Structure 1
Amino acid sequence: MNLKPARKFLKAACAAFALCLAVFALSGCSGKFVVLDPQGPVAATQQRLIVLSAVLCAIVIIPVLAILVFIVWRYRDKPGNKAPYTPDWHDSKLLETIWWGIPIIIIGILGTYTARDTFALAKPPVSDTTPITVQVTSLDWKWLFTYPDQHIATVNYVQIPAGVPVRFQLTSDAPMNSFWVPQLGGQEYTMPGMAMQLWLQADKPGVYYGTGANFSGKDFAHMRFDVEAKPQAEFNQWVSSVKQTAPALTKSGYEQLVQPGTSEKTLYSSYPDGLFDDIVNKNGGMYMHHSSAPGEPGESSGTSATGATGTSGMTDMPGMNHH
């Protein structure tokens, strides 16, 4: 048996693996891996799930790769190889128990922790402060953020108070997209006619990278935004400054904003009442809450999206096709 092609392939694979490691190491020197740099309780919980998943996968992958190397070496075609040859071998109860039992155990462990944390993250992070609400609308190719309690709006920029749970309500007035702030938590989709919900929190002041994580057209790469967390007092000052210095977002201004195109960071001192509800309703009008029970923190924000009652997780809106 000619082993030269196999040896060449093995050398090429080793070289490629070494190159990947070098790129990985060099990129690590120039900056942080934001997904593995949690700056809030939601991201920290999700990072633990990532680590757990990696460890459980390694329990399978490493032994399988080691057995593969052993089999290739042990049963190689070489004169004098005394490896046992058993062409009539049918089964082994021990081996079948191992290769079925271990994956079942791993899936059970991973499923248990994933379900536990998923239900826990559907509620606001534990905090002794009152949550705030930020409504998010993905457009072509920009992000509109409205603050129902402060009644201000921003484009491609979010400011939140540090240490305060933030309820992001998400919809789209354009193709489906995905709202993602890696250091604060996982992504959540934005869809026309649907208002989704995502709880996030920044533990300390800082500027966090946000982006659209879904292909949505030719300028989707420009759908980036900064999430700036500041102490509560500085956040309040910022809100007051925006109200005093920024222009208002009018209905005609929104109609221009919704047109396809990119945009720079923009601040607005006010916006039309019920704008977020109007955006949702004109595209179908379904609210997906994933919310806590009525009366828990964050259940009052002054809009129909956050004022819904019940624990079913969904509220029918006017104009919705109930069939």
Structure 2
Amino acid sequence: MNIFDPQGPIAAAEQTILIDSVIIMLAIIVPTSIAVLAFAFWFRSSNNRARYRPDFAYSGAVELVVWSIPALTVILLGGVAWIGSHQLDPGKPVDGTGLPIRIQAVSLDWKWLFIYPDQRIATVNSLTVPIGTPLRFELTSGSVMTAFFIPQLGGMIYTMNGMVTRLNLRGDHVGTYKGLASHFSGDGFPDMMFDTNVVSQPDFANWVTNAARSGQVLDEAGYKELAAQSVETRPKTYRLADPELFGNIASQKIPPAPGPQLSENQSRPEGGTAHAH
């Protein structure tokens, strides 16, 4: 999960913003650090050339330096943030090869459900996408609020109960990259991770064909069972029986899970047998 090893255009652009921001802020940090050492050295007690000025109160030159450099730094940082926030708008489509892949992500306690409505399949804690293809995510939460993040592809964004957020990404290199929930959501939060498999176009087509033959079917009843609090240790694949499932979750036609519940043992939520210890 190395953010300095981007594998897509969004992550690469975010890395550039991060590095540029650090360089701009060094315009204050470096001179200030040097000045502290220089002043301490010059005004040491053994330096007879240093002038003692007990009545010194104001210097226009000092004020100019003290205020102009931070002001320029804030202006530059503001410009970087302004331009970057528009160029990297999560809802802005990303160019790529082939037709975009639509993926509907649902955060649960404590697992990730990924629905491919056009392919009529769904997965748990495993995301497979073709290389170079635009990925259009629609995200919601079936329980409490958390955040979706694939560090090497970029674009951390919140998933919230009763609403849909949108995110556009692209993977440019074949490989497996870790994704995670980056916002605390209860007892099983540390294990709420998933693999993002970026594969070739033919491999993706083969994966979709095999996934569509899965013996497990995801419908409303299956979703309610999946939404129960648990930590899934193995990825799962389903045939999607209801293409409107995501809409029903986001609109709360399917009631959301209550979130982490405390039992009499205040140190651990109810349903302890389903949790990772």
Query: Is residue 2:80 matched to residue 1:110?
Result: no
5+ residue gaps, structure 2: 255-277
Match of 1:274 among 238, 244, 251: 244
The residue type equivalent to 2:218 in the other structure is L
Query: Is residue 2:157 matched to residue 1:188?
Result: yes
What is the CA deviation profile of residues 243-300 of structure 1, one whole-angstrom value per residue up to 9, with x for unaligned ones?
113411122211111111111210001142311111111189xxxxxxxxxxxxxxxx
Q: Which moved more, 1:251-260 or 1:38-47?
A: 251-260
1:162-311 alignment, distance < 5 Å: 162-263=131-232, 264-282=234-252
Residue 125 of structure 1 and its aligned partner are, at CA, apart by 2.1
TM-aligned CA distance change 1:234 to 1:128, over 3 Å: closer
Residue 79 of structure 1 and its aligned partner are, at CA, apart by 5.0
Misfit runs of 4+, over 6 Å: none
Match of 1:73 among 41, 48, 52: 41
Across the aligned residues of Structure 1 and Structure 2, the Cα RMSD in angstroms comes to 1.8
Query: Is residue 2:10 matched to residue 1:42?
Result: yes
TM-score normalised according to structure 1 size: 0.74
Q: Distance in 1 between matches of 2:194 and 2:84?
A: 27
Match of 2:122 among 148, 153, 157: 153
TM-aligned CA distance change 1:92 to 1:277, over 3 Å: same
TM-aligned CA distance change 1:58 to 1:80, over 3 Å: closer
The residue type equivalent to 1:276 in the other structure is F
TM-aligned CA distance change 1:217 to 1:81, over 3 Å: farther
Q: Distance in 2 between matches of 1:83 and 1:186?
A: 54
The answer as to whether partners of 1:193 and 1:283 remain within 8 angstroms in 2 is no
More helix by share: 1
2:63 corresponds to: 96
The residue type equivalent to 1:266 in the other structure is K
Q: Distance in 2 between matches of 1:112 and 1:281?
A: 37
User: Aligned residue pairs: how many?
Assistant: 251
Residue 192 of structure 1 and its aligned partner are, at CA, apart by 0.7
The answer as to whether partners of 1:251 and 1:272 remain within 8 angstroms in 2 is yes
1:6 corresponds to: none
Q: Distance in 1 between matches of 2:191 and 2:155?
A: 20
TM-aligned CA distance change 1:64 to 1:283, over 3 Å: farther
SS state at 1:34 partner = coil
Q: Distance in 2 between matches of 1:276 and 1:71?
A: 63
SS state at 1:194 partner = coil
